[in-house]
Amino acid sequence: MKTPYWFLHKTPVAFVLWPFSWVYYLGTRAVYKMRMRGAYSSKRPVICVGNILAGGVGKTPIVREIAKYFDAPVVMRGYKQDIKSGRCSDEAIMLANDGIQVHTGDRKSNIILLDKQSDKTPIIMDDGFQNSSINKKISVIVFDESIGFGNGFLLPAGPLREVRSALSRADAFVIIKSDTKKARLELPVGKPLFYVKTKTVSPYSANQRVVAFAGIGYPKKFFRNLKNVVAKRAFPDHYQYTDDDLQKLIKLAEKKKAKLITTEKDWVRLSPEYQQKIKFASLNVSIDNGLFSWLKDNLK
């Protein structure tokens, strides 16, 4: 689904939905405590890279860099993967394309299977901070500086999966820097804080007109980091594009005398036919080296 407008603003709709947030909170707390009873402790250290917001805040590039640094496998639920068709989630394909060992599906089951290997490297868990069925060695929470806590409300009135006090369970925080909007972000005192800088790199020259489209949690982040955008189209997160969607985008680009451009996450969801016609903007990620040093020290 598309990220609702009220997730980032305290609108009347958000206040109307606010009472339902407490129903959501009580339900998720009950599930969290129930799962704790059968929590599994892996023989290998588990590094959880998670968040407390619904929708994408940019975790996958960070998971990718940590996994590459430790030459470690990644376990993830895999959004909208289809076992019958063999289609994997977009994040899983992105990581696998970089040569990372990725295991999708039930994270606990996959960690149990990985424990049977002789490998001693850590296991990186993409998301799962709210999953109490797995004991983590380290939990790192990612925030986007331009989004912060959104409107500060719990689902469905806002983007928060948990109350802010849940951040006390985290061991460290990673903040994705923003050159434009900076939201207020108050985090627990005394815990390590690391920064990440990202740069969207277009495959086209700066004077090339482009029509941008994206089906990610917060497409505005992608659009504002591109130059010479003459038209843009936002789709729901993890959207599966149809031939009709893509033909309309191609015609729009032709009308605007522009080139089509999208995110890597969207591009991997396209068929090979359209991948040849459409290019993606790559995301260069620069992570504070202190994060890797801190992770190594805390894995000892």
Which pLDDT score, from 0 to 100, does residue 13 have? 96
Which pLDDT score, from 0 to 100, does residue 75 have? 97
pLDDT single digits (tens) 223-248:
999 999 999 999 998 899 999 999 99
Q: Check whether 84 has a pLDDT greater than 70.
A: no
Q: Which residues are within 8 A (CB) of 100 and not within 5 positions of it... i.e. 6 or more apart?
A: 64, 67, 68, 73, 74
Average confidence (pLDDT) over 279-289? 93
Average confidence (pLDDT) over 42-48? 96
Max Cα-Cα span within the chain: 60
The band of 82, judged by pLDDT with boundaries at 50, 70 and 90, is: very low
Can you give the residue ranges of every domain in the chain?
5-198+286-299, 200-283
Candidate from 39-43, 53-57, 268-272 with smallest mean pLDDT: 53-57
- Per the model's pLDDT, the better-predicted residue between 172 and 83 turns out to be 172
**Number of neighbours of residue 42 by Cβ within 10 angstroms:** 18
CATH number at 5-198+286-299: 3.40.50
Q: Check whether 271 has a pLDDT greater than 60.
A: yes
Structure tokens belonging to residue 134: 């797995």
Instruction: Provide the pairing of β-strand 74-76 with 123-126.
Output: parallel
Do the domains at 5-198+286-299 and 200-283 have one common CATH topology?
yes
Average confidence (pLDDT) over 213-227? 91
Q: Check whether 155 has a pLDDT greater than 90.
A: yes
Tell me 199's DSSP state. Answer: E
The band of 183, judged by pLDDT with boundaries at 50, 70 and 90, is: confident
Q: Which fold has domain 200-283?
A: Rossmann fold (3.40.50)
* pTM, two decimal places: 0.91
Residue type, 234: A
